[in-house]
Structure 1
């Protein structure tokens, strides 16, 4: 009985850790969006996206409002969005999106993570060419015809459309068309569950289970860093 309780407690703490990390990530995104476009979501598409993602992450409304107020205050933290690149073990390319108020600390921490994980932090441009940056939207499936929807969205930068394992519609648009696609989905009255910018690998590396485990351990280490927002890699 005690062992079962320990397992459940461990699972509960892991879930809390993931939720706390998600809230921190959204909070930084809100701070950056407010800094660049102001606190009014009606006039700030980036902030609207952040609020949408906060809802998707089950972040309470009062915490979202507090994050917006904090971003306008005198004691606000100025975050800088910086992208880092490197290699995980076995030649797997890695890209890391960060939001940091201290790039010296961030670089030092990332270098440590790569070194301990058997990889290496690279220079800007070392692996970026292996990824395409796209906007990805998760839309509630209300019985839409995907072929018809594809035709309707093709003029707004649509690159891919499909469904995820939960039956939601996944729409990918060119990075430069992210705003146009967001507006098109809004104008069509589609319920967008979440939207984010992603880096999709153009080629992938296939490894053995043991080798893949080494790569994913490094990815997990990177994702736990407070300055890291998202980690992308080309492991198949």
Structure 2
């Protein structure tokens, strides 16, 4: 088990920044619909759907919107979305993984390639950066869930593999297979999580400083602003001092 470690820079500025994303509810709705279509429309019987619903609730998405997204899948009214992953490099050689749900691969690929090329990066081939990450389960809790020791103890008892805590909250890492089992156990001891999802955890981080910080943030923002993009992961680390310079 790892102890205190900053994670907030690995998945770009969550919280307040997430709320500024264009079409957030649209993205959440798309994931809910896809999850419901791929399995049962009952969150208790469909781990992916449960995670999607929890994510929507964490962003204060109205219950009616959530149910409407599930109903679309149940009634066969949903669009056919395809899961696509893109990999590339940003400023300072940062490795970036982009996950999307799209009904038009050509449109999405063009948009992603443009975002990279206009913001100091380049889109790579499939598998070009994924080898530098681990595919794991991630359970996120706010700082209010308890101190580091309390969360660590609960995570160990639940069967988690690792815990990282900072001022923003706690990240509990698990194997993919045990994600929902661990999440269910933690819900009993810590309450409902902010998010339960599959994640890309970098094996090594790249420190970014100077002008590359602003360029990298513009790249990540451009990717996240695309309607088809669901998540953006990177192996970058930025100091608080560098982030403060951005305002």
Question: TM-score range with shorter-chain normalisation?
Answer: 0.7 to 0.9
Tell me: CA distance 1:147–1:104, structure 2 relative to 1, closer, same or farther (3 Å).
Answer: closer
Q: Output the CA distance in 2 between the equivalents of 1:126 and 1:174.
A: 23
Partner SS state of residue 172, structure 1: strand
SS of corresponding position for 1:200? strand
What TM-score comes out, normalization by structure 1 length? 0.83
* Higher RCO by CA contacts (8 Å cutoff, separation 6 or greater): 2
2:206 is matched with 205
Q: Residues of 1 paired with 2:110 and 2:86: CA distance?
A: 12
Distance 1:179 1:146, change over 3 A: closer
Query: Gaps spanning 5+ residues in structure 1: where?
Result: 1-13
The TM-score normalised by the length of structure 2 is 0.79
Residue 172 of structure 1 corresponds to 173
CA distance in 1, matches of 2:183, 2:165: 18
State the secondary structure of the residue aligned to 2:197. Answer: strand
Question: 1:146–1:162: 8 Å Cα contact kept in structure 2?
Answer: no
Kept in 1, the 8 Å contact 2:154–2:186? The answer is no
The structure with more helix, counted as a fraction of residues: 1
Q: Distance in 1 between matches of 2:114 and 2:184?
A: 41
Once the two structures are superposed, residues 114-154 of structure 1 have per-residue CA deviations (whole angstroms, 9 ceiling, x without a partner) of 1111211111110001111222212362577345324312x
> 1 CA distance for matches of 2:104 and 2:154?
44
CA–CA separation in structure 2 for the residues paired with 1:15 and 1:145: 28
1:141 aligns with 2:145: yes
Q: Among residues 147, 153, 157, which one is paired with 1:152 in the alignment?
A: 157
Q: Is the 8 A contact 1:89 1:214 kept in 2?
A: yes
The equivalences for 1:210-229 within 5 A come to: 210-229=211-230
Q: Structure 1 residues 61, 202: closer, same or farther in 2, change over 3 A?
A: same
For 1:26, the equivalent position in structure 2 comes to 28
Q: Rate the CA distance shift 1:110–1:147 in 2: closer, same or farther, 3 A.
A: closer
CA drift of 1:60 comes to 0.6
**How many pairs align?**
219
Unaligned runs of 5+ residues in structure 2 are: 1-15, 238-247
Q: Partners of 2:173 and 2:232 in 1: how far apart?
A: 18
